[in-house]
Amino acid sequence: MSTEKSFISPHDPSLNIPNTEGWEEMYPYHALVGKSDPKRKQHESETFWLLDALHRPEPIPPFDLIWEDARHLSMGVMIRLMVGPFSTGMDYRVINGYLYLGTEAVSNLEIIQKKLPTFQERAGYYYQNWHELYDKKWHQKMKVLIDELKQIQFPDLPEIEDMSVIIEGKGLTSAHPILEAYQKMLGLAYKQWDYHIEFLLAGYGGLLQFAEMMKKFFPDISDKSIGQATSGFDAAIFRPPMELQNLAIAAVEQGTADVLLKSARWEEVPTNLQQTEAGRKWLEQFETVRDPWFEMSGGTGFYHTDGCWNDNLDLPLTHIKNYIEALKRGETILKPQEEVIKERDRVIAEYRGMIKNEEDVQAFDQTLGLARLVSPFAEDHQFYCENWFQCLFYRKMRELGDFLVKYGPLEDREDIFFLHTFEVSNVLFDAVAKWYSCLTHVAKTHWPAKIKRRKEILEQFKEWNPPPALGAVPSPPLNAVFVSLMGLSQEKIDEWLEAEEPESKEITELTGIAASPGIVEGPARVCSKTMDISTLMAGEILVAPQTSPTWAPAFNTIGGAVMDQGGLFAHASIVCREYKLPAVVGTTIGTRVIKTGDQLRVDGDNGTVTILKRAD
């Protein structure tokens, strides 16, 4: 690869989209590329920016950027707490509503050697005390945080304060807790991401350490074999689909299955099931598992539009009905963990048996033990953070939206998500101030039109095809998070640099990462949104930008998976291995090239996807 090559600059005028002028005001200044500061522009031009289509496949509404601000701050955990030796942290920029992540790898050997002992000491302490620090303290910290979030309220403001405020000498009105509540919500969001990142480097670091060791001992080893060696574990994220499976089994056994199958919407279910004792028993079981296991986002958890199972019970109902239909066909719906573990142990024994040096055997056993120790983290923290916490957070924001409809300038509760976090503070202050003084809301003539315009711009952004990368070509070593989660590789970078945009119909074979072993043929079903998974038919190949944990119930239906994004330890890769489904991830262009109905051959052993026949 020529070192003179580079990706298009983040400042290139060709990135401008007509009729979206002024879009930048939707986002805080720190999220935007520099236009007037020469030093900032130079820094951005010399930085490698990767499109984060794994977490952010669509343009970001202004408020939803909160998770990038939180992640941006929390990456300091790696630098200030863990003292990561290979990176100076992670930055981000929003371009036409899409998220680009920037990172600077440390190539100076002297700096690496200076930081490495401190990092090894701290990471080592995490590994040696993992059960105490993660299994006990981390989970408890997250539950405390969630309980704090649950307590936040935005009640109506009184016409006049109660006399008790004077008698008790409070000297404060009902508005103060409301102003404080929003600031507390922001603080909890930032704190949650500090907890999120706390174990990230140690967790994924342990997995990457195992992957690197395997490639060192066995240079020709496939990604799928490395993935198999770390499979077969339990994590909180597998509990929600398991509860749906249990509900489906109970419905079949108790004779309530037909009532559920005939129900198009959840609102029909309670009335129909209340008529029988078996139905009431099933409803009781359903209600018992909702908190917390239905606090599952309908998507990645990063968009307010993703929804949540507990807020839209049609989502879990769809999955339960799919499970019931599978049971009626005589299929097994439970995750085949015993088979996965058996195959995992076979793979490990095979490769371990190839090592002749006793010292290397010990290194193999030690690194494998570390990978098994940290493996649950990759999926476990997703339930607590992106799902349980963030579902509840968005629910609380809608309560604040209702407050600002009543006392502020908003016309609809959902409009709050078209203000960025700092604007919400201003609007909330204005609403409270106007309540204090009984004045007219000037903001009512300002924000509705602005919000309408922002919605129009975001719709236009959805039609844009963002480049996979911008700026400078990264120097080795590549960022470990980019590699393990997002599938970045030197080969992928070279491919992006060399590629000319081909006609989709001319492409018959795609390459990616062999994420889960096996070969399968079947018709494609392209799913771009969560609700699309309800259209999946048994044996179809799921083709998607990425998957989120809420898609897991669909993995009992599909024959295989093809993902645009993801690395060896991304969610789709892990779940496909746990369900023994052939999968290829990191194809970049799968959803652009493949159409629903195309006949595919997915080779999860070699990381290739072949379009055997185009749909008519």
Quick one: average pLDDT of 70-94?
A: 82
174 SS3 class: coil
pLDDT above 70 (res 367): yes
**pLDDT value for 104:** 67
- For the chain, what percent of residues have pLDDT higher than 90? 63
**Is 422 inside a domain boundary?**
no
Lowest mean pLDDT among 44-48, 72-76, 391-395: 72-76
Contacts 24+ apart (CB under 8 A), 494-497: 494/1, 495/588, 496/7, 496/468, 496/469, 496/588, 497/1, 497/5, 497/7, 497/473
pLDDT above 80 (res 227): yes
CB half-sphere exposure, 598, CA atoms < 13 A: 24
**pLDDT value for 338:** 92
What would the pLDDT profile of 17-63 be if each residue is shown by its tens digit?
999 999 999 999 999 999 888 999 998 999 999 999 888 989 999 99
Return left, alpha or beta for 475; rule: phi > 0 is left, psi -120 to 50 is alpha, else beta.
Answer: beta
**Is 591 inside a domain boundary?**
yes
Quick one: average pLDDT of 209-232?
A: 91
**Is 268 inside a domain boundary?**
yes
What would the pLDDT profile of 555-597 be if each residue is shown by its tens digit?
777 899 999 888 888 888 888 898 889 999 988 888 889 999 9
**Is 304 inside a domain boundary?**
yes
**pLDDT value for 105:** 65
pLDDT above 80 (res 201): no
Structural domains in the chain (count): 2
**pLDDT value for 1:** 39
- In terms of residue numbers, what domain contains 535? 500-613
Of the candidates 373, 366, 362, the residue with the CA atom closest to the CA atom of residue 127: 373
Quick one: average pLDDT of 188-204?
A: 90
**423 sits in which H/E element:** helix 421-437
User: Which of 328, 347, 375 is at the close of a domain?
Assistant: 328
**pLDDT value for 440:** 67
Under 8 Å between Cβ of 410 and 404: yes
Under 8 Å between Cβ of 79 and 113: no
Q: How far apart are CA 340 and CA 229, in angstroms?
A: 10
CA-based end-to-end distance of the chain: 39
pLDDT above 50 (res 2): no
Under 8 Å between Cβ of 234 and 338: no
Of the candidates 348, 344, 375, 51, the residue with the CA atom closest to the CA atom of residue 205: 375
**Is 206 inside a domain boundary?**
no
Higher pLDDT, 253 or 106: 253
The band of 483, judged by pLDDT with boundaries at 50, 70 and 90, is: confident
pLDDT above 90 (res 80): no
**Is 567 inside a domain boundary?**
yes
Tell me if the pTM is above 0.95: no
User: Which of 289, 304, 328 is at the close of a domain?
Assistant: 328
Q: How far apart are CA 518 and CA 225, in angstroms?
A: 11
In a 10 Å sphere around its CB, with 0-12 CB exposed, 13-18 middle and 19+ buried, how is residue 268 labelled?
middle
Q: How far apart are CA 151 and CA 145, in angstroms?
A: 10
pLDDT above 70 (res 145): yes
The band of 441, judged by pLDDT with boundaries at 50, 70 and 90, is: low
**Is 563 inside a domain boundary?**
yes
Q: How far apart are CA 376 and CA 232, in angstroms?
A: 10
Q: How far apart are CA 154 and CA 399, in angstroms?
A: 7
**pLDDT value for 120:** 87
- Which CATH number belongs to the domain containing residue 508 in this structure? 3.50.30.10
**Is 290 inside a domain boundary?**
yes
Return left, alpha or beta for 388; rule: phi > 0 is left, psi -120 to 50 is alpha, else beta.
Answer: alpha
pLDDT above 70 (res 501): no
User: Which of 294, 328, 362 is at the close of a domain?
Assistant: 328
- Mean pLDDT, rounded, of the chain: 90
Higher pLDDT, 548 or 435: 435
